[in-house]
Amino acid sequence: MSKLKLNITMSIDGFVAGPDQSLEHPLGVGAEELHDWLVPLKAFRESHGEEGGEVNASTPFAEDILGGAGATIPGPWDESWKGWWGDNPPFHHPVFVLTRHPREPLDMQGGTKFHFVTDGIESALDQARAAAGEKEVSLGGGASVAQQYLAAGLLDEIVVSVVPILLGGGARLFENVGDVKLEQVESVEAPGVTHIRYARA
């Protein structure tokens, strides 16, 4: 059975998104800095059609984020939104969107197909696992959807990439999750970030 995995970046004061999230600031004010460790990497630049870039201890984590999954479950969307990425989203595999609005699947460029799931997080996971085959299912969408899967005991692995910034407010990952027990299995220091891998205990 495919493993459900979350890769997420967090400030040292525990926020995965900053305050005042909006269309202008989708990650919240000041939170763009959360991904300063990722953007200069060769793996990231190549995935966006650019050349050059760095290779360091973060590279395996970036490669996992950018190409390790066979399906993705992002956070909830409204009825009309197609995502931040235009006509060619970065997934290139099936994506199972949690929503309250039934709609037909949406084919995008690059092999991404959005499926809209109205009957809950377990149904989305079952469908994503079936589509992913032997690959992992990636959980996206920020704190809210991660909290739901954590609280339900359905997340198999979490990689938290901790960056040395203070956001002072926003969305926390480990909130409203109940009695969750995790086991740290790896910690890797890299320029501007520390990657900590947890497994479900």
The domains located in the chain, with CATH, are 4-200 (3.40.430.10)
141-158 confidence digits (pLDDT tens) = 789 999 999 999 999 999
Nearest to 200 by CA among 151, 165, 137: 151
Task: State how beta strands 113-117 and 94-98 pair.
Answer: parallel
pLDDT at 146: 93
DSSP class of 54: B
Whether residue 112 contacts residue 106, with contact meaning beta carbons closer than 8 Å, is answered with no
- Looking at the DSSP assignment, which residues form a beta bridge with residue 7? 159
SS3 6: strand
Nearest to 93 by CA among 75, 67, 118: 67
CB atoms within 10 A of CB 86: 9
pLDDT at 80: 58
Sole residue written with tokens 């269309």: 23
Nearest to 44 by CA among 29, 32, 58: 58
pLDDT at 83: 61
**What is the arrangement of strands in the sheet containing 106-107, beginning at the earlier edge strand?**
106-107, 113-117, 94-98, 69-73, 136-139, 4-11, 157-163, 193-200, 182-190
Element (H, E) at 121: helix 121-132
pLDDT at 201: 86
Helices 143-151 and 121-132: angle between axes, nearest 10 degrees: 90
The per-residue pLDDT string of the chain (201 residues; one tens digit each, 9 = 90 and over) reads 789 999 999 999 999 999 988 777 878 888 999 999 999 999 999 887 789 999 999 999 999 888 879 999 987 665 555 566 677 777 889 999 998 888 899 998 888 899 999 999 999 999 999 999 999 999 987 899 999 999 999 999 999 999 999 999 999 999 989 889 999 999 999 999 999 999 998
